[in-house]
Structure 1
Amino acid sequence: MTDFFRFENRTCIQARLVAQTAVSVGSRVSLLPSGSDLPVIKTPDGLPFIPGSSLKGVVRSYLERILRTLGDAKKAVQGERLWACDPLDKECCCVPPGRKKELVEEFFLRARQTGENFDELLARAIWKESCTACRLFGHQWMAGRIAFRDALLVNAEELPQLVEVRDGVGIDRDLGSAKASIKYDFETVPRGAVFGFQVVVENAQDWEVGLLFLGLEALREGMLPVGGKTTRGLGFVTLEDVTVRSFTVEDLLLRPEEGKVRTPQEFIDAFTQALQ
């Protein structure tokens, strides 16, 4: 089990996220009188960006599909099966609310009787029952070990305009045709926009980072659209100039700004070799 109470290692991934098509990452309705009905999300200084939560959700959803497939094939790593629960179904998630209450009561009593650390006992119990995806990305009872930072626009000066405005029409789901009097417009970030991409992974084994890279590889190849309206052809991006640095305790003490340079393929190989 990962030790949540100590630093073991850190893997930092950096890249450029390049928009191959327009990208629509919507915000709330504009407060400007002449603003778009669906503006893109922007920083306080008016630059579009892609929230880290959007990127994390896209990659997690893709990896959950892979893990369910591997689980059906009875695949395991280090004796533990690979699987993914359904976090949106309270009955099918790996640690339902009722089960969490049972664990709290059980280990609170045990901690009082034995003097053991309650937080550590509970963390280990929740970890044991959590699926592979939740162990990496987290769930409502346990923090994830993968952090996606907001992807900030880095080539604003090179773009002819920061946002484009497009027209949209509401669809009547019963008739499958345009709904009367429902026309709107929405903003997109234009093709060619480049965003800074950063992911930090804490206390993960190489095979776990390799699993993450399976998702990032799909993103690199442009197979995972981000944002909204992806069925209309929006949101297709690619990853370029990927760099990876790993840090251990010794690295932080001796060379805190450098770390060990590694390649994505090293981690992917570690995953495939650990797969049983």
Structure 2
Amino acid sequence: MANNQRIQLKGRVFITFNIKAVTGLHIGGTESGIEIGGVDKTVIRDPLTNRPYIPGSSLKGKMRSLLEKYKGLRQNQRIGQGYIHSCDNPEEYPNCEVCQVFGVPGERDFATPTRLVVRDVMMTDKSAQDLEVSGRTDLPYTEVKTEVSIDRVTSAANPRQMERVPAGTEFGPAELVYSLYDGDGCDVQKDIEHLRTLVEGLQLLEDDYLGGLGSRGSGKVKLENITVALRVGETYAEEKKLLDKFENLGCLVEKLKELQDQIRQHVGK
């Protein structure tokens, strides 16, 4: 953020929901320490409970990647083995909804604060207990899916074992915290309007997949039991104001404009 910018937090929108794995879910963990004969690709687990979880970085990164492609943004910044979009000039940044919501590197001297925070999402206690008593998982809380690749030249089979969280497992509550700012380089009315971009990211996620192995059937998810709440700057220490509850994402989409109008009334200018 540039020096001498005057920016005021006007409020925060809190979106919570459960994530249900419609098909087996694989979000990769570390491969170190895998014994001979073990699975080839393991899932990430909470070191305290040993339960699989969804990192906030995976959820946020997937939404951003899908939105970049949906809006046709140029892939100009190298990250690891690939590229992402990141505004690199002050003329482009103010009109880029994705960078406004999801952020740009801190060294950009024209940057304003990132609007979106995405928390890690833990497996629900009910799902964990159901998996514990079922006795039908290959490993604690997970199944092992065997895939076979065929060498096109020799026709030799190459079996691989992938660890997945079984279909039907729920994680939650997931929490997205969306900040509304006003001041130098910020416009609270634009931030409220950009909530639509965040909801579009959730829609794209449901239609795509989360984690790895998605093109081979894994990672289809559904968002359920959604709540939207608000804290306003002037009364931030008070309890969150519940704006609405939704059974699924489709219901939220239908009421999105009404939600934005409610937020405008509470936040003002």
Q: Quick one: which amino acid aligns to residue 67 of structure 1? A: K
Query: In the aligned structure 1, how far is the partner of 2:52 from the partner of 2:198?
Result: 26
- Tell me by how many angstroms 1:18 deviates: 0.4
Within 5 Å, which residues of 2 pair with 1:16-165? Answer: 16-33=18-35, 35-44=38-47, 45-68=49-72, 84-88=73-77, 93-95=86-88, 125=90, 128=93, 131-140=96-105, 141=108, 142=111, 144-154=114-124, 155-159=127-131, 160=134, 161=137, 162-165=141-144
Distance in 1, matches of 2:103 and 2:178, equals 12
* Paired residue secondary structure (2:8): coil
Distance in 1 (CA, whole Å) between partners of 2:156 and 2:243 is 57
Encode CA deviations 1:50-92: one digit per residue, 9 max, x unaligned: 1111111221122223333xxxxxxxxxxxxxxx342446898
Alignment check: 8 A CA contact 2:97 2:194 kept? no
Q: Following the alignment from structure 1 to structure 2, what is the Cα–Cα distance between the partners of residues 30 and 238?
A: 31
The answer to whether the 8 A contact 1:23-1:189 is kept is: yes
CA distance in 2, matches of 1:144, 1:127: 16
Match of 2:160, as an amino acid? Answer: Y
Instruction: Please give the TM-score of this superposition, normalised by the length of structure 2.
Output: 0.70
Distance 2:211 2:149 in 1: 18
Identical counterparts, % of pairs: 29
1:235 aligns with 2:222: no
Aligned 8 A contact 2:68 2:85 in 1: no
- Which residue identity does 1:137 align to in structure 2? F
Mark the CA change 1:6 to 1:198 in structure 2 (over 3 Å): closer, same or farther: same
- How far, CA to CA, are the matches of 1:227 and 1:178 in structure 2? 31
| Letter in structure 1 aligned against 2:226 | V
> How far apart are the structure 2 equivalents of 1:186 and 1:30?
15
Structure 2, unmatched stretches of 5+, are 181-187, 246-251, 262-269
CA distance in 2, matches of 1:207, 1:29: 42
Q: How much does 1:158 deviate? A: 1.3
Q: Classify 1:4/1:232 alpha carbon distance in 2 versus 1 (closer, same or farther; 3 Å).
A: farther
Aligned to 2:267: none
Q: Is residue 214 of structure 1 aligned with residue 200 of structure 2? A: yes
Q: Which residue identity is paired with 2:123?
A: L
**2:117–2:177: 8 Å Cα contact kept in structure 1?**
yes
How many Å separate the matches in 2 of 1:43 and 1:218? 27
Tell me if structure 2 keeps the 8 A contact 1:37–1:186.
yes
Q: Pick the structure with greater CA Rg.
A: 1
Greater helix percent: which structure?
A: 1
Q: Is the 8 A contact 2:17 2:175 kept in 1?
A: yes
Partner Cα distance (2:22, 2:196) in 1:
25
1:137-167 Cα offsets, whole Å, 9 max, x none, are 1122355311111111002001233100111
Work out whether residues 29 and 36 of structure 1, in 8 Å CA contact, stay in contact via their aligned partners in 2: no
CA distance in 1, matches of 2:14, 2:123: 19
Q: Does 1:259 align with 2:261?
A: no
Q: CA deviation at 1:35?
A: 3.5
Structure 1 length-normalised TM = 0.68
Q: Which runs of 5+ in 1 are unaligned?
A: 69-83, 100-124, 272-276
Offset at residue 30 of structure 1 (A): 4.7
Give the AA of the match of 1:157: Q
Q: Which amino acid aligns with 1:150?
A: D
Q: Give how far 1:215 is off.
A: 2.1
**Aligned length in residues:** 219
Q: Which amino acid aligns with 1:186?
A: M
Residue 138 and residue 169 in structure 1: after superposition, are their counterparts in 2 closer, same or farther (change >3 A)? same
- Tell me what 2:230 maps to: 246
Contact kept in structure 2, 1:85 and 1:94, CA below 8 Å: no
Please, which of 168, 184, 196 is the counterpart of residue 147 of structure 2?
168
The structure richer in strand per residue is 2
Cα displacement string for residues 87-121 of structure 1 (whole angstroms, at most 9, x for unaligned residues): 446898530xxx6xxxxxxxxxxxxxxxxxxxxxx
